[in-house]
Amino acid sequence: MSGYRTDAAIATGNGWTIVENASLEGRNTFRVKARADLLVDIHDDAALEEIFAFRGLAERPVLVLGEGSNLLFAGDWPGIVLSMATRGIEVVEDDGVQALVRVAAGENWNDFVHWSLAHGFAGLENLVLIPGTVGAAPIQNIGAYGVEVGDAIAGVHLWDRRDRVRRHLARDDCAFAYRDSLFKRDAERLLVVAVDFRLDRRPALRLDYAGIVTELERLGDGPPTPRRVAEAVARLRMRKLPNPAVIGNAGSFFKNPLVDADTAAALHAAHPELPQWPAAAGQVKLSAAWLIEACGLKGWREGDAGVSAQHALVLVNHGRASGAELWNVARHVVDGVRARFGIALEPEPRIIGG
C-alpha cells in the first residue's frame, strides 16, 4: 500500500485507519477475545473506494462491524474487519407531516431513536434501547415489540464492493424479512454506508404487543405518545434483558421459530401454554424463550458461558468465557429443544468461526 504513513502496525489516511493483527475483544458486546488480520476504521465513507483500491485488500474477506452487538466470535477473523465509524444525521425533506431523514451508518441506534423523538417524529419508539449502530439495523432488520425497522426505512445507501460503486436501494428492493435482508445475505459485497428513514409526525402507535399497555398504565395518567411508549418499552427491556454493559451478551440469541399451521396445531394440542402468533404466508411463530425454558435451560451454564437466568433467549458471558464456549452452549440449547419438541432453533447473531 503506497500513499499512507505507518507507525508500528498502524496506518492512517484521509478518513481511515488500519491496524494489523488487531484485538476485537473491545469491539463485541460478548466481550470475548478474537483477532483480525486487519481492522479498518472508516470515518468518511468516501474512503471506501480508496481502501478497496489498495493492492492485497480488494479480494480479502470482509466483516463489517458496527458495535459488535449482533455477532459471536467463536474464532478469529482471517481477513478485514471494517468498522463504519461515520457520523451524521440530515433532514433531507420535511413537509411538516413527514420527513426523510438520512443517517450515517456509524451513528448509535438508540441515540438516533431518541433524536427522532426529540424532533417530534414517530415510528421508532418501539425499537428503543436496541444496541448497535444505524448501519447494522437494516442488515438484521431489527425488531422489537411488534415493529421492524424495515417498516420505517425508505432506502439504503451502499458501497458495492464487487462493482466498486455507490448504490441506493429503495425499501422494496431490500428484501426485508424476519431478522433478514438482502444485505445480510450478501454481506461480503454490499456495505451499508447510510440509511434513509421516512418518519411521521402523526403517530400510529403500536400498543398491541404484550406488556406495553400495562407499562403505560404504570407510568401514570396521560394519553399514549411516542415518548411515553419509548419509556414503557425501555422499562420492559431493562427488566427482561441483561445489560451488555454489566454482563457480556448480544441480546436475543435465538430467533422465534416459524412453523407451518399443522405443526403449530400439533404443538398447541400437546402444549397449550406455548405462545404462538400468526406470521406471513400462513406460518405460525413460536416463542423460542418458552421452548428453551421448558427444557430447563434458563439459567443453565457451563463455566463462564451460559443462558441468562433473566431471559432464556439471551446467552451471557459471566466472566472470561471464550466465543467457542458460548457457541457450545448455544448448540446445547439447540440440541435440547430439537430433542424435546422437534423444533430447530436458529441463532439471531452472526457466528464467526463457528
Set 27, 179, 215, 228: catalytic member: 179
In terms of Cα–Cα distance, which of 184, 251, 249, 192 is closest to 28? Answer: 249
Q: Which one-letter DSSP state was computed for residue 184?
A: H
Q: Report the 10 Å Cβ neighbour count for 281.
A: 6
Helices (H), the chain: 47-51, 109-118, 136-140, 182-185, 212-219, 226-240, 261-270, 288-294, 323-341
320 in active site: no
> Grid coordinates representing 209?
404487543
In terms of Cα–Cα distance, which of 66, 80, 73 is closest to 34? Answer: 73
302 in active site: no
In terms of Cα–Cα distance, which of 205, 226, 199, 223 is closest to 96? Answer: 199
- In angstroms, the CA 329 to CA 334 distance is 9
179 in active site: yes
In terms of Cα–Cα distance, which of 350, 353, 303, 348 is closest to 329? Answer: 303
Set 125, 148, 325, 348: catalytic member: 348
* DSSP letters spanning 56-122: TTTTS-EEEESSS-SEEESS-EEEEEEEE----EEEEEE-SSEEEEEEETTSBHHHHHHHHHHTT-B
Report the Cα 258 to chain-centroid distance in Å. 19
Set 69, 252, 287, 308: catalytic member: 252
> Grid coordinates representing 47?
474512503
Cβ proximity of 30 and 323 under 8 Å: yes
Residues in the chain: 354
Q: Please give the positions annotated as active site.
A: 179, 252, 348
